[in-house]
Structure 1
Amino acid sequence: MCKITLGMLTVVLIVVGCKSVDVPYKSNLTERKLQVDLTGGKKVMAYFPEWGGIEGGYTVWDVPAEHLTHLFYAFAHLTEDGQVKVDMLSKGLEMVYPEGKGVQGVKGHLRQLIELKKKYPHLKTLISIGGWELSMHFSSLSVTAYGRETLAKNAVAFMHKYQFDGIDIDWEFPVKGSKYKDKQRPEDRENFTKLMQAIRDEMDFYEEEDDKEYLLTAAVTVSIYRQKHLELQKLSKLFDFVNVMVYDMHGRWIKDQTGHLSPMYPTKAIAGDENICGDIGLQGYLNAGFKPGQIMVGAPLYAAGWQGVDVKKEGVFQKAVGLAKGTSVHKGYYEWRYIAKELLEKQGNQYYLKMDEDAKAAYVWAPEVDGGTWITCPSRASYQAKIDYVKQYDLGGMFFWDVSNDVRDPESVQSLIRFTADGLMHSKSYK
C-alpha cells in the first residue's frame, strides 16, 4: 500500500495550482517513546568533521568508536532550494583511503562510515546539517510549508541513502546570532518548530517502511538569552535529545581579552556577563520541559589563546595584545592533542595547566612566553566537572566538538574521550 504523507499532499496541491495551506504545529511524539536510553546508560558522542580536522588527514577509522555511542557527521550542505548535499565531494565521496586504513576500494568518508558501523554495530550515526558556515538557508526555507517539506524530504532521503540512524539539525542561530545577519527573521522561532515537525513527520514514513526508529536531534545554544528564540516546551516533544553547546562563551573573536571557552559556573574573576555559563544554560532546558535524559552536555576538544597578557590573576579575564600564534592557519586556535603533547608534556617548565575552581574551567598559563600567553582549554579536571554535572542531574551524557582534536591514541591517559567514556559508561574514576 502506498502511504500518502503530508509532504506528498503539499506537493500535489502545488502542482495542480491550489494554494497550499500552512501546516499548524502538532506533535505526534506525545505517545512516542523518545530514544533517550538506547544503550541502557549514558551517551558519549562526538562530531566528525568531513574536512578531516585542521590537518585534513583525519578519517572515520581514526575515530575511537569503541568509546562512543553516537557519531555526528558534520556537515551536509543545505542549498537555497532545499537540497541536502555532500559539502565536500573530494572528502565525502571521492577520497581514496590510505593503504592499511579502512576498507580498500571504498571511497569517501560517507561510505567508509558505513563500513565502520559493521565493525562497531553499537555505534549510532547521524548526519548533521548546517553548522556556523552552512546555516544561511534555514530561515528562508522554513517560512513556507513547501520549503519545510522540501527540506525535510531531502534531509531524510540523504539520511536513508547513506544509512544514518538519524538527523541532527545545527541551525546557528534562529532569530539572532547568525553569521548571516540578513538571513534571519523574528518568525524563525515558530518556524524552527514547524521545520522539526516536518522532518519528524517524514521520518515516520521511513520508520514504518524500515521497521526502525530514527533519531531527530539538534545542536542548540547554551545561552539563556538565545533560548528565548526557541519554543523549548514544544521542541521537547519533538527531539530525541539536544546537544547543548557548552562552549564558545568566549573565544578568538575577542582579540584583546582572555576568557573562559567553556565555564560550567560563574566565576569571581569574570569581567563580562556572569550569567553565561553551562549550569544556567542547561537548567534553562530542564526548566522548559526537557527530560534530563534528553539533554547532552557539550565539551570542547579545542582551545583559544592570547599573547601579551596582563599577569594579574594569572591572566584570567585580563587584557591581551592579541591572539597567540596557535597551531594552525587559524590564529589563536589550538587542538587539545597539541596542548597535551607539545606544551604540557614537552614544555612543562614554561606552560602550566591551571584551573579556575569557581568556573570549573581549565587554562594554560605561560607568563614568560610572548609577553604572557594564556590559553582557555579543556582538561581532565574540567571534563570531570561536566561528568559530575551529568550524574548529579541524571542528564543523557556528553558530546565533543570535534573528535579530531583529541590525542590520537585513545588508550592514552591524555585522551579526553576515553576519560569521559570511563567516567560515564564504565564507572571508572581517576585520581
Structure 2
Amino acid sequence: MKSFLRLLLLITAFCCFHFTDTFAQKKKKYVVNAYVGGFRGLVNTEEIDADKLTHINYAFVNVQDSLAVLTNLATDSTNFRKLNELKLKNPDLQILISIGGWAWSENFSDAVLTPTSRLLFAKSSVDIIRQYNLDGVDIDWEYPAMRGEEGNVFRPEDKQNFTLMFKALREELNMLEKEKGRKFLLTAAVGGSKSFIDNTEMGLLQPYMDYIFIMTYDYGGKNGTVGHHTNLYGYGNSSDVSSADQSVKNFIAAGVPASKIGLGAAFYGKGWEAETGKNNGLGEKRIKSVPGGGYSKLKDSLINQNGYKKYYDKKARAPYLFNDSTKVLITYEDEKSVKDKCKYVKKHKLAGIFFWEYFNDPKEYLINEISRNLD
C-alpha cells in the first residue's frame, strides 16, 4: 500500500511539474491587449478567446465630480465578475478599467486640476480595482490641453496635470500593492499625433507607467482629404503623412522606452466619399463620412463584393476598398496589415499590440493572425 501511495505521489508531482513547465512555455512574450466595450451593457464574455490575450481593458469608466464612476453599476459589476472568470482559462490574463474614452473625457481637466481633486480621482479609481479584484487602471483622456469631443473642458495646465495625475495614481496603486502583496498596472491610451506629444510630458510621466498604448488609428488624410486611418507607414508624396511608424518614433524621441509602447490595431474600418475617383479616392477631397463597419462584416460582405474592390497600398502597408460608382473608400486593417504590425513590434522591440475593439471582429480573423505572429 505504501509503495502504491509513493508511486501515486510521484506521478502527481510529475504531472504538476509537467503542466507548470508546459504552461510557462506558453506564456506570451508580448502584450496582446483587447479593449472590450462594457458601455453597451452586458459583455458576452463566453465569446472572448482568453487564451489569445494577455490583458483586457474594460471600456469605459466615467469621470464625474473628480471621481472615477461606474455609470451602470448592475452591468459593470456583472461584467467584472464574468471577465475575472476568464482567468480560469488563462490565469495570466489581467483585467484593467479604462477611464474616459472619446465620450467621457470632458471632466478630466477639472478632475486633475488641484492636488485635492487629483487625490480624489486617484483614490476612487483604485477603489474600483480593490472592490472588484481587478488588475490595474488605464487612462484614455482624449485629450489633455486639446479639444476632443465638442464641449470638453481643456486648459493649458493639463500638460503638467496629466503627469501629476499619473503620479497620484501610481502612488495609490503602490499602496494597494502593499495591501494585496501583488503588482497592479498603470497604463494609458494616447493619441498618435505630434500635437498630443507637444501637449504632454511623456518623458516625465512614463516612469509611473507600465505600458503606453499609442492609438495608431483614426489618422485619415491631411486637410480634409481621404487617406488611410491605420497605416503602418507613410504614403504618397508628402513627408508628413501620419503613420504608426512616425507616431512610435515621435514617442520614443519624447522619452518613452520602446519596451513600454503598445502598437494600435483597428478592428474596424472607416469610410469616406471622395470628390473624384482619381487614384481610387486616395488624396481626394472628402465629401462626407460613411459607415465602415467591423472587420468580420467587411471581410464577409464588402471585400470584392457589392461594388467594392480591394486594393493594397504597398508603401503604407495598408489595405482599402474603393467603390468606383459611389466614390466611397473604406480604409481598414486586415490579416496582412496586422501581420506587418506584429513584425514591426518584434523588430523594434515594442511591448506588444492592442486593438479596439474585440467585438468588431467576432469571427476572430485578426486576433487569430495576431496570435500566430506574436507568440
CA contact (8 A) 2:42 2:75 kept: no
Is 2:205 aligned against 1:235? yes
Q: Could you tell me which residue of structure 2 aligns to residue 161 of structure 1?
A: 131
TM-score (norm 2): 0.87
Q: Which residue of 2 aligns with 1:291?
A: 257
More helix by share: 2
Superposition pairs of residues 50-61 of structure 1, within 5 angstroms = 50-52=38-40, 59-61=44-46
Amino acid at match of 2:308: Y
Q: Does 1:358 align with 2:315?
A: yes
Please report how far the alpha carbon of residue 349 of structure 1 lies from its aligned counterpart in structure 2 after TM superposition. 7.0
Residue 259 of structure 1 aligns to which amino acid in structure 2? Answer: G
| Paired residues of 1:48 and 1:60 also in contact (CA < 8 A) | no
Alignment-mate amino acid for residue 233 of structure 1: G
Q: 1:39 to 1:293 in 2, by over 3 A?
A: farther
Unmatched runs of 5 consecutive residues or more in structure 2: 1-25
Per-residue deviation at 1:207?
0.4
1:212: which partner in 2?
Answer: 182
CA drift of 1:60 comes to 2.1
- Structure 2 SS opposite 1:225: helix
Aligned partner letter, 1:423: N
Residue number in structure 2 paired with 1:405? 360
C-alpha root-mean-square deviation of aligned residues, in Å? 2.3
**Do the aligned partners of 1:307 and 1:374 also contact (CA within 8 Å) in 2?**
yes
User: How far is 1:178 from its partner?
Assistant: 2.2
Q: 1:308, CA displacement in angstroms? A: 5.8
3-state secondary structure, aligned to 1:348: coil
Distance verdict in 2 for CA 1:381–1:216, change over 3 Å: same
Instruction: For 1:16-415, list aligned pairs within 5 A.
Output: 39=27, 41-52=29-40, 59-80=44-65, 82-89=66-73, 91-93=75-77, 108-180=78-150, 183-250=153-220, 257-268=225-236, 274-307=240-273, 309-324=275-290, 332-344=291-303, 348=305, 350-368=307-325, 371-406=326-361, 408-410=362-364, 415=365
CA 1:349–1:156: 2 relative to 1, 3 Å: closer
1:257 Cα shift? 4.1
Distance 1:39 1:292 in 2: 21
Q: Aligned equivalents of 1:351 and 1:259: distance in 2?
A: 17
Give runs of ≥4 in structure 1 deviating > 6 Å: none
Per-residue deviation at 1:40? 5.8
Cα distance in 1, alignment partners of residues 136 and 280 from structure 2:
44
Cα 1:203–1:39 change in 2 (3 A) is farther
Mapped contact 2:261–2:351 kept (Cα < 8 A): yes
Q: Give the Å deviation of 1:198.
A: 0.5
- 2:216 maps to a residue whose letter is V
CA deviations over 1:148-196 (Å, ceiling 9, x no partner): 0000000000011111111001111101132255611111111111111
Tell me, in whole angstroms, the C-alpha distance in 1 between the residues paired with 2:307 and 2:208. Answer: 50
Aligned to 2:302, the other structure's residue is in SS state: helix
Question: Are residues 320 and 131 of structure 1, via their aligned partners in 2, closer, same or farther at CA, if it must alter by over 3 Å?
Answer: closer
* 1:272-309 deviations in Å (ceiling 9; x for gaps): x8342211111122122222210000011111113465
- CA gap of 1:349–1:236, structure 2 versus 1, over 3 A, is same
Shift of 1:138: 1.2
Which residue in the other structure is 2:23 paired with?
Answer: none
CA distances 1:17-71 after superposition (whole Å, capped 9, x unpaired)? xxxxxxxxxxxxxxxxxxxxx956111111000134xxx7752222221111111
In structure 2, distance between residues paired with 1:120 and 1:297? 23
**Which consecutive unaligned segments of at least 5 residues does structure 1 have?**
1-37, 94-107, 325-331, 426-431
Q: Distance between the aligned counterparts of 2:188 and 2:133, measured in 1?
A: 19
Query: What's the counterpart of residue 417 of structure 1?
Result: 367
Deviations 1:248-283 (CA, angstroms, capped at 9, x unpaired): 1128x99x742211122221166xx83422111111
- Secondary structure at 1:172's aligned position in 2? coil
Q: 1:393, CA displacement in angstroms?
A: 0.6
Q: TM-score of the superposition, structure 1-length normalised?
A: 0.76
How far is the alpha carbon of 1:374 from its aligned partner?
1.2
* Letter aligned with residue 135 of structure 1: S
Q: How many residue pairs get matched?
A: 350
